[in-house]
Amino acid sequence: MTDSLRERTDPLTGFDIGGTWLRHRSGDTVTRRPAPSLLNHPGLSVETLWDMLVCELTTAEPRNGRVVVSLGAAMDDLTSQVHGSSPLWGDARLSRNLRMELRQRRPDVEWHVHNDVTCALADFAARLPAEAGHVGYLTVSSGIALKIADLGSRTVTVDGSGLQGEIGHLPAAVPAGLGRLLDLPCACGGAGHVAAVSAGPAIPRVAKALGLEPFDAAAFPGRLSEGDTGAWHLLDTVTYPLAQAIRWLWTTQPRLTVTGIGGGVAEALGAHYQRSLEGHLNRDANYSQGDAGRQVVRVLAPGETDPIRGAQLLADGFLSVVKT
Ligand SMILES: [Zn+2]
């Protein structure tokens, strides 16, 4: 059966595996349960967590179907080699091939496994015209990563390890006078990384480092809407490293026209998140940015980009991943 025929006849079945949630879509039904991650199961071994993941994926599916998987891990989209994921497996460096193991366990299923940012990028890019050129997608959730696609050639270029845009574990730029944030631990085993300041699990630690009251995630959007000074200080602090990363993109990627920002943290804070980023990006403007207008950065609405839909687009060949 060709992919195009399969696309018309098979209901979409897929998984989106993040550090916090595992979403399972079967036809039109989407269910969500806690992910088999170190974040949700502190103390379990990587081996056990990996087995739980493979078990989740292989026990639920009907026979002889096609299943797409969006995996929140640094991985090679071409070979399916998984390198690691701090929300899922902490500081472990993996050398496991998920697609191969799934095929061994369930050879009747046609498996397609891709990195979650590649998936979200595909779904975001599918709604843009080819003339958009290079387009980016940045996820801010329990982890942070970025990827850029060339819509002209419909390709995503990766390095020899199959990676591109793993910016979450680069050293963070922090606001002047807040050098103590560079001591904050990162789930990868390092400290002061972009994810250690800007990812979801970092926000309570940043609040503590700023001397603010304990972070209340449920109350946070309301406090921002009320203009609470402490809440805005916290948000502007956690968005600062990402604003500087975006500046680097603007400076080094002239073909980039638009970057969508998704993921649980950014989507939940929506317009507040956009306003905070814009505040940083509009500050300290100077001649080096030219006068032709800048690339678009847009915080996406909740659910606007769906990694499972993107995983299906990748399985159908909408974007090709190519190695340098
Ligand atoms: Zn890190």
pLDDT of the residue at 8? 39
pLDDT of the residue at 169? 95
What's the pLDDT tens digit per position in 91-129? 999 999 999 999 999 999 999 999 999 999 999 999 999
Spell out a b/e string for 70-98, using b for 16 or more CB atoms within 10 Å of the CB, else e: bbbbbbbbeebbbbbbbbbbbebebebbb
Q: Give the alpha-carbon dihedral of 164, 169, 112, 200, to 10 degrees.
A: -130
CA of 164 to the centre of ligand 1 (A): 16
CA of 189 to the centre of ligand 1 (A): 6
Asked whether the predicted pLDDT for residue 318 surpasses 60, the reply is yes
Asked whether the predicted pLDDT for residue 32 surpasses 70, the reply is yes
- Residues in CB range of 323: below 8 A, 6 or more apart: 78, 157, 158, 159, 160, 162
Q: What percent of the chain has pLDDT over 90?
A: 87
CA of 200 to the centre of ligand 1 (A): 13
pLDDT of the residue at 9? 45
CA of 61 to the centre of ligand 1 (A): 34
The pair of structure tokens assigned to 22 is: 């595992």
CA of 174 to the centre of ligand 1 (A): 15
Smallest CA-to-CA distance from 1 within 91, 130, 9, 238 is with 9
CA of 234 to the centre of ligand 1 (A): 20
Residue 22: strand, helix, or coil? strand
CA of 45 to the centre of ligand 1 (A): 19
CA of 19 to the centre of ligand 1 (A): 14
CA of 190 to the centre of ligand 1 (A): 5
CA of 87 to the centre of ligand 1 (A): 10
Q: Tell the CATH topology of 3-120.
A: Nucleotidyltransferase; domain 5 (3.30.420)
Ordered by start, the domain boundaries in the chain are 3-120, 129-299
Spell out a b/e string for 266-278, using b for 16 or more CB atoms within 10 Å of the CB, else e: bbbbeebbbbbbe
Give the Cα separation of 304 and 307 in Å (integer): 10
Domain 3-120 matches domain 129-299 at the CATH topology level = yes
Q: Tell the CATH topology of 129-299.
A: Nucleotidyltransferase; domain 5 (3.30.420)
pLDDT of the residue at 13? 87
Residue 71: strand, helix, or coil? strand
Give the Cα separation of 214 and 257 in Å (integer): 39
CA of 191 to the centre of ligand 1 (A): 6
